[in-house]
Copies of this chain bind each other. A is one copy, B any other.
Amino acid sequence: MLHKLSFLAVLLSLSVFSFFSYAESTPEASVSVLFSPSDECSRIISEKIDGAEKTIELAIYMLTSRSLAKSLVLAVRRGVAVRIFADGESSREYYSKVNFLKKNGVLVKIEDGKGLMHNKFCVIDDKTLITGSYNWTNSADLMNDENVVIIESEKIARVFRVQFEKYWQGTYTDEAFYIDKNKLIKHK
């Protein structure tokens, strides 16, 4: 199992610089890839949460996993600031852990704008980014075919953190229209 994981979870050491003027060089980073149900996605995400020291931001469509919710509450109890921006409709479903998390000190905001809050990304301590197709549910872990990409990079984490802050402050673009459908040019 470990061998398989080590094969799939390609861990790459990346020395990073950017082409854009705003960018700075950053320390080394790594990228891991996991697939469910074959890999230990839930366990590895739990480990990442358990290792958090300061902040966790989670933008999520479905959160029904008891073990991941438990890890988030344990993070709050050891002083980590945990914020969740969650989809409205999914959060009101019976198995959602959003109310449980609210009652246990997690700061939660609900998205009830246009379309779905369909992200499943998590930023930990401004340096770890978890994304992919994987909602935080047992179905994703045991039955669905999913991927999880974990990027250890302050630069990538910052890009997602900036987007999370837009969600949190309500300054994000909620809807767009094509003004030129042939070229897929959008008006926001």
Task: State how many angstroms separate the Cβ of A16 from the closest Cβ of chain B.
Answer: 5
Instruction: Assess whether B18 is in contact with A186, with CB atoms less than 8 Å apart.
Output: no
Q: Which of B17, B46, B115, B145 contacts A144 (CB 8 A)?
A: B115
* Inter-chain contacts of A43 with B (CB < 8 A): 183-185
Task: Mark A84-103 against chain B: 1 for CB-CB distance below 8 A, else 0.
Answer: 00000000000000000000
Task: State how many angstroms separate the Cβ of A89 from the closest Cβ of chain B.
Answer: 12
Q: How large is the interface on A (under 10, 10 to 19, 20 to 34, 35 or more residues)?
A: 35 or more
Task: Mark A115-157 against chain B: 1 for CB-CB distance below 8 A, else 0.
Answer: 1111111000000000111100001111111110101010110
- List A residues at the B interface (Cβ < 8 Å): 6-8, 10-20, 22-23, 29, 31, 33, 35-38, 40, 42-43, 46, 59, 61, 67, 111, 114-121, 131-134, 139-147, 149, 151, 153, 155-156, 159-160, 162-163, 167, 172-178, 181, 183-186, 188
In the bound complex, CA of A126 to CA of B7 (Å): 17
User: Taking the full assembly, how many copies of this chain does it contain?
Assistant: 2
Instruction: Assess whether A188 is in contact with B37, with CB atoms less than 8 Å apart.
Output: yes
Q: Please name the residue on chain B nearest to A121 by beta carbon.
A: B147
Instruction: Assess whether B188 is in contact with A8, with CB atoms less than 8 Å apart.
Output: no
Task: State how many angstroms separate the Cβ of A4 from the closest Cβ of chain B.
Answer: 9
* Inter-chain contacts of A6 with B (CB < 8 A): 20
